[in-house]
A and B are shown apart, each in its own frame.
Chain A
Amino acid sequence: MSEAVELSGVTKRFGDFTAVDGIDLAVGDGEFFSLLGPSGCGKTTTLRMIAGFEFPTEGSLRIHGTEMGLLPPNKRPVNTVFQSYALFPHMNIEENVGFGLLMKKVGKSEIDERVKRTLDMVQLGSRAAAKPDQLSGGQRQRVALARALVNEPEVLLLDEPLGALDLKLRQSMQLELKELQHRVGITFIYVTHDQQEALTMSDRIGVMNEGRLLQVDDPEELYERPKSRFVANFIGEINLLDGTVGSGGEIELGGDLRVSGGDGLAAGTSVGIGLRPERITLHDDGMVPDGRVALPGTVASRIYHGDYYAYAVETPAGHIDVTEENRAGVQTHDEGIRVVVSWDPSASTVVVD
Chain B
Amino acid sequence: MSVGLVPKSASERVLGATSWFVFAFLYAPIIVLTIFSFNENDNVGIWTEFSFRWYGEMFQNDAVMGALRNSLIVAVISTVVSTLLGTAAAVALEKYRFRGRTAFDGLTYLPVIIPDVTMAVMMLLFFVQLFAMLGGLGLSFQFGLGTISLSHIAFSISFVAIVVRARLGQLDPSLEEAAADLYADRRTAFRRVTLPLIMPSVLGGALLALTISLDDVVVTSFVSGPGSTTLPVYVFGLVRRGVTPLINAVSVVMLAASITLVLVSLVFQRRGDGDPGSAGI
Contact = CB atoms under 8 A, between A and B. Distances in A.
Interface of A: 51-53, 72-75, 78-80, 82-90, 99-100, 103-104, 131-133, 136-137, 147-148, 151, 164
A73 B172 contact: no
A137 B281 CA distance: 5
Contacts of B178: 80, 82, 86-88
A84 B193 CA distance: 16
The 7 A-B pairs with the shortest beta carbon distances in the complex, nearest first, are A84-B279, A100-B182, A86-B174, A86-B178, A103-B183, A89-B275, A137-B281
Contacts of B175: 86, 88
Interface size class of B (residues with CB under 8 A): 20 to 34
B180 interface: yes
Nearest to B280: A133
A72 B274 contact: no
Contacts of A148: 181
A106 to B, nearest CB: 10
A103 to B, nearest CB: 4
Contacts, number: 77
A74 B182 CA distance: 6
B168 to A, nearest CB: 14
Interface in B56-79: none
B275 A151 contact: no
Given A73-B177, A74-B181, 16 more contacts: A73-B181, A74-B180, A74-B182, A74-B184, A75-B183, A79-B181, A79-B182, A82-B178, A83-B174, A86-B174, A86-B178, A90-B196, A99-B179, A133-B274, A147-B182, A151-B182
B279 A85 contact: yes
A84 B174 contact: yes
A78 B274 CA distance: 32
B118 interface: no
Interface in B158-184: 172, 174-175, 177-184
Given A82-B174, A86-B178, A103 B277 contact: no
B278 interface: yes
B128 interface: no
Given A53-B177, A86-B172, A164-B281, A74 B185 contact: yes
B44 interface: no
Contacts of B179: 88, 99
B266 interface: no
B279 A100 contact: no
A88 B193 CA distance: 7
A103 B184 contact: yes
A86 B183 contact: no
B48 interface: no
Nearest to A150: B182
B197 interface: yes
A264 B179 CA distance: 53
A155 to B, nearest CB: 12
Contacts of B281: 136-137, 164
B260 interface: no
B279 A133 contact: no
B35 to A, nearest CB: 45
Contacts of A82: 174, 177-178
Nearest to B276: A89
A64 B114 CA distance: 59
B175 to A, nearest CB: 5
B245 to A, nearest CB: 49
Nearest to A75: B183
B177 A74 contact: no
Nearest to B279: A84
